[in-house]
């Protein structure tokens, strides 16, 4: 039986009970009225009999005696024939008879008749799906429970489970990808994102915000500060591998490329932060190692003399520091090579002169050849200048002429004048001596 049918049946039963109660009350009222009329008739007869007895059956009797007889008769009738009717009557063995009995008038109660409610409309609750009946008195009764709330709860649970599975899958993929590069521990630190209901699209963003990630890829933050764009993890790791291979190839100590527990190498971080490519790094290493450290000792000596801040112990560190421009490093090494070549020829020059020669395009090979010529020409020129009383022909004049610096034409004229004087002085001799200025040295004079 449905709720609606049960309610209707209950309503019918209630109406039947009300009708039965009303009928019972009407019958009780009629019985009370009948007894009241019988009592009045008995009372009247008792009074008449009392009057007759008081007068002795004669009309001339005492009025007071007649009145007293009348009152006594009324009391007896009331006590003997008219009991009090109640829902729970109390019956006593010795009724109290008074001279002035109290007569109780029965109360007639009107039965309450209940009018059954009527259904005026029915609707479905949008939130719960319950079917509700609306009655004419404004009350409402659910006649059929809906399933919307239960369905919603089930759908929400299924969706939550599906989202959790997607996040688990996304984390697994991220873990596998980073594990390829030995960085699975970075992803492990953000495992809690799966159960924290964080969208899977945010996993990589949250990972890149973690302290360990920022430490591992610290070069990116510095790149941005230096005006460069951040690079991806794969490119970052590839650069580190290239740096390491170059350093190993050139035999650098392991301390230059050894990494810590999370794979970070401070030197690599600095190189990446300053946008140093693997090609540039190799150039720097080669400049330091091949051109200075593995070259003749005069080059290192000249470098130390020209630039006291750079010692043999930190030549490599100096060249690997991205803050020191590669062009500046090469310029200083070139000057050291020129100074070293002069030392090899038994000559001495300062850093300013070596730098000037380097900026004019003189390289190590040209310096080695040229200073050999300068070493032969300059002393002889100086000697002839003193012999013939001419302006001194110095090492600087010889360098200017040999290396084609500004003023080389004047230096050449000065040398040729001394040669002419020498030839005139010894024109009668068999020939110019082996030490004369007319010798062609290194193809320069």
**pLDDT tens for each residue of 158-185:** 988 888 888 888 888 888 888 877 788 8
H/E stretch holding 188: helix 184-188
Residue identified by tokens 């110019």 is 432
HSE, side-chain direction, 13 A CA sphere, residue 343: 19
Task: Name the least confident of 283-287, 358-362, 421-425.
Answer: 421-425
Instruction: Write down the mean pLDDT value for the chain.
Output: 82
Residue range 419-443: average pLDDT?
A: 61
Distance CA(116)–CA(229), nearest Å, equals 83
Tokens linked to 14: 């209630």
Residue range 249-261: average pLDDT?
A: 86
Residue range 319-329: average pLDDT?
A: 89
Pick from 431, 322, 282, 444: which is nearest to 377 by CA? 444
- Whether 353 has a pLDDT exceeding 80, the answer reads yes
Q: What is the pLDDT of residue 434?
A: 47
Residue range 383-388: average pLDDT?
A: 91
Tokens linked to 177: 């990808």
- Whether 31 has a pLDDT exceeding 90, the answer reads no
Chain-centre distance for alpha carbon 136 = 58
Share of the chain above pLDDT 90, in %: 38
Q: What is the pLDDT of residue 78?
A: 56
Chain-centre distance for alpha carbon 266 = 27
Task: For 269-304, write each residue's pLDDT tens digit.
Answer: 999 999 999 999 999 999 888 888 888 899 989 998
Tokens linked to 42: 């008995």
Distance CA(146)–CA(131), nearest Å, equals 7
- Whether 266 has a pLDDT exceeding 50, the answer reads yes
Residue range 112-139: average pLDDT?
A: 88
Other beta carbons less than 10 A from residue 157's beta carbon: 10
HSE, side-chain direction, 13 A CA sphere, residue 333: 26
Task: For 97-118, write each residue's pLDDT tens digit.
Answer: 455 555 555 666 666 667 888 9
Residue range 11-31: average pLDDT?
A: 83
Q: Which DSSP state fits 88?
A: S
Residue range 35-42: average pLDDT?
A: 78
Q: Which DSSP state fits 58?
A: S
Backbone angles phi, psi at 405, to 5 degrees: -80, 175
HSE, side-chain direction, 13 A CA sphere, residue 85: 15
Distance CA(227)–CA(236), nearest Å, equals 17
> Counting every residue, how long is the chain?
445
Distance CA(266)–CA(226), nearest Å, equals 17
Task: Name the least confident of 72-76, 83-87, 279-283, 388-392.
Answer: 83-87
Q: What is the pLDDT of residue 281?
A: 95
Task: For 197-224, write each residue's pLDDT tens digit.
Answer: 788 888 888 888 888 899 999 999 999 9
Residue identified by tokens 């130390």 is 304
Angle at 60 between CA 58 and CA 61, to 5 degrees: 85
- Whether 68 has a pLDDT exceeding 70, the answer reads no
- Whether 246 has a pLDDT exceeding 90, the answer reads yes
HSE, side-chain direction, 13 A CA sphere, residue 230: 12
Task: Name the least confident of 269-278, 302-311, 342-351.
Answer: 302-311
Task: For 142-163, write each residue's pLDDT tens digit.
Answer: 989 989 889 989 999 998 888 8
- Whether 364 has a pLDDT exceeding 50, the answer reads yes
Task: For 405-419, write each residue's pLDDT tens digit.
Answer: 999 999 999 999 998
Residue 169 CB partners (closer than 8 Å, separation 6+): 200
Q: What is the pLDDT of residue 445?
A: 43
According to DSSP, the β-strands at 140-144 and 131-135 are: antiparallel
Which residue did the predictor score with more confidence, 96 or 397? 397
Phi-psi group of 431: left, alpha or beta (phi > 0 → left; psi -120 to 50 → alpha; rest → beta): left
Q: What is the pLDDT of residue 312?
A: 56
Residue range 369-382: average pLDDT?
A: 94
Q: Which of 41-50, 71-80, 290-299 shows the highest mean pLDDT?
A: 290-299
- Whether 438 has a pLDDT exceeding 70, the answer reads no
Q: Is the dihedral of CA 277, 283, 288, 289 positive or negative?
A: positive
Q: DSSP letters of 318-386?
A: HHH-TTS-HHHHHHHHHHHHHHHHHHHTT----HHHHHHHHHTT--HHHHHHHHHHHHHHHHHHHHHHH
Tokens linked to 301: 């000596």
pLDDT band at 442; cut points 50, 70, 90: very low
Q: What is the pLDDT of residue 410?
A: 93
Q: What is the pLDDT of residue 293?
A: 85
């Amino acid at each position: 039986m449905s709720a609606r049918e049960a309610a209707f049946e209950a309503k019918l039963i209630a109406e039947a009970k009300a009708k039965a109660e009303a009928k019972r009350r009407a019958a009780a009222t009629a019985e009370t009225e009948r007894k009241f009329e019988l009592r009045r008739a008995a009372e009247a007869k008792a009074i008449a009999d009392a009057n007759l007895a008081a007068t002795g059956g004669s009309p001339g009797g005492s009025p007071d005696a007649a009145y007293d007889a009348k009152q006594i008769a009324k009391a007896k009738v009331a006590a003997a024939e008219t009991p009090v009717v109640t829902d729970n009557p109390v019956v006593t063995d010795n009724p109290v008879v008074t001279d002035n009995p109290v007569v109780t008038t029965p109360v007639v109660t009107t039965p309450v008749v209940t009018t059954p409610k009527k259904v005026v409309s029915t609707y479905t609750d949008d939130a719960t799906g319950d079917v509700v009946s609306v009655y004419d008195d404004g009350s409402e009764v659910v006649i059929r429970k809906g399933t919307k709330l239960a369905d919603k709860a089930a759908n929400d649970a299924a969706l939550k489970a599906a989202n959790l599975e997607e996040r688990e899958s996304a984390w697994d993929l991220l873990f596998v990808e980073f594990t390829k590069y030995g960085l699975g521990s970075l992803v492990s630190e953000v495992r809690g994102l799966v159960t924290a209901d964080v969208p899977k699209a945010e996993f990589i963003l949250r990972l890149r915000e973690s302290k360990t990630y920022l430490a591992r890829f610290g070069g990116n933050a510095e790149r941005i500060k230096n005006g460069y764009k951040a690079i991806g993890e794969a490119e970052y790791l590839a650069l580190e591998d290239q740096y390491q291979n170059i350093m190993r190839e050139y035999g650098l100590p392991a301390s230059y490329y050894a990494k810590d527990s999370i794979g970070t190498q401070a030197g690599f971080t600095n190189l990446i932060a300053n946008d140093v490519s693997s090609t540039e790094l190799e150039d720097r290493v080669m400049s330091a190692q091949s051109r200075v450290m593995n070259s003749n000792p005069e080059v290192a000596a000249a470098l130390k003399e020209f630039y006291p801040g750079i010692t043999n112990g930190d030549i490599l560190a100096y060249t690997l520091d991205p803050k020191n421009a590669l062009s500046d490093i090469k310029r200083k090494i070139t000057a050291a090579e020129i100074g070293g070549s002069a030392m090899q020829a038994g000559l001495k020059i300062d850093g300013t002169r070596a730098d000037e020669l380097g900026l004019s395009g003189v390289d190590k090979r040209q310096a080695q050849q040229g200073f050999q010529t300068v070493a032969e020409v300059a002393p002889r020129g100086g000697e002839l200048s003193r012999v013939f009383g001419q302006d001194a022909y110095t090492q600087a004049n010889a360098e200017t002429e040999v290396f084609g610096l500004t003023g080389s034409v004047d230096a050449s004229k000065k040398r040729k004048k001394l040669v002419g004087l020498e030839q005139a002085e010894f024109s009668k001799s068999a020939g110019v001596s082996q030490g004369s200025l007319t010798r062609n040295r290194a193809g320069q004079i």
